[in-house]
Amino acid sequence: MIFQFFKISKKEKRLFISAYYYCFIARASLFFVKNERYLKRIGTYMKTPDEKSQNFNTNTIAEVRLAIKRVTKYAFWNNNCLPQAIGAKRLLKKQGITSTLYLGVKKNNDHSSLEAHAWLESGGIDVVGGQNKAGFSVVGRFS
């Protein structure tokens, strides 16, 4: 890992370190703080995203996506979909890019329990978690 870290550009290093920090803080906060209380800080609940007013840059979104993937690969904690989405949302906000975090649920294959998933979109582009959103019903949206 350390050798690979030195091979990437300064910008990618800074983004990786920021992503690592935001994902770790998100995971720790979700562990120690009630989810309802923490999610209020993420954005406005069930606000419909206004696609016209969104400021987004596809290059920055791709860089954030890559940084989150790297963090997930090297994190010492379980960096599942929700901390990834929260971390990516914070990174995009820091760069002045609006995004919407979605929370969804679906029944498991055995229909005995529910499965939850979180994903992040910006300007209609999936940032993180979007490839797995099929079949999930949106129960929360934070813009």
Closest CA to 100 of 61, 59, 134, 73: 61
Q: How far is Cα 104 from Cα 85, in angstroms, rounded to an integer?
A: 13
CB-CB contact of 136 with 117 (8 Å): yes
User: Tens digits of per-residue pLDDT, 73-126?
Assistant: 988 898 999 999 999 999 999 999 999 999 999 988 787 889 999 999 998 899
Ramachandran class of 96: left when φ > 0, alpha when ψ lies in -120 to 50, beta otherwise: left
Over residues 12-32, the mean pLDDT reads 92
Q: How do the domains of the chain map onto residue ranges?
A: 9-142
Shortest CA distance to 15 belongs to which of 80, 79, 76, 95? 95
The answer to whether the CB of 129 falls within 8 A of the CB of 72 is: no
Percent of the chain with pLDDT over 70: 91
**What's the predicted TM-score (pTM) here?**
0.86
